[in-house]
């Protein structure tokens, strides 16, 4: 549930050729509702083509802190997601982290 203690951020990355999602989206996006103080991902979604893939990424990222756990998020994706979107997911998580840091610093990235 959105509150003044959370924020909504998005990280983006290019999708590789040959992916089902590429026919709908030009880029992969990971969105997250994040606790402002601790950076913990409360909810996450992404633009993978299947409900199962989107749920899997949600389950991997939920509970990870963008303040302290970027390495954990990257390791989980690299170790547990075996699909063509691995590099795009890693890049989108990195961009999500950049957006979180910009929000913490009070600046806005586009």
Domain architecture of the chain: domains with CATH: 6-105 (3.90.1010.10)
Burial class from Cβ neighbours inside 10 Å (0-12, 13-18, 19+) for residue 50 reads exposed
Q: pLDDT band for position 110 (50/70/90)?
A: very low
Q: Tell me what pLDDT residue 84 has.
A: 86
pTM over 0.75: yes
Q: pLDDT tens digit string along 59-97?
A: 999 999 999 878 999 999 999 999 888 999 999 999 999
- The pLDDT of residue 63 is 96
């Amino acid at each position: 549930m959105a509150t003044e203690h959370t924020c909504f951020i998005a990280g983006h990355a290019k999708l590789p050729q040959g992916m089902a999602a590429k026919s709908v989206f030009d880029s992969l996006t990971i969105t997250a509702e994040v606790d402002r103080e601790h950076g913990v991902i409360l909810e996450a979604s992404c633009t993978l083509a299947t409900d199962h893939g989107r749920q899997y990424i949600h389950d991997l990222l939920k509970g990870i802190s963008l303040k302290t756990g970027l390495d954990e998020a990257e390791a989980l994706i690299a170790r547990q997601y075996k699909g063509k979107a691995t590099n795009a997911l890693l890049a989108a998580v990195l961009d999500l982290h950049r957006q979180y840091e910009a929000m913490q610093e009070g600046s806005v990235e586009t």
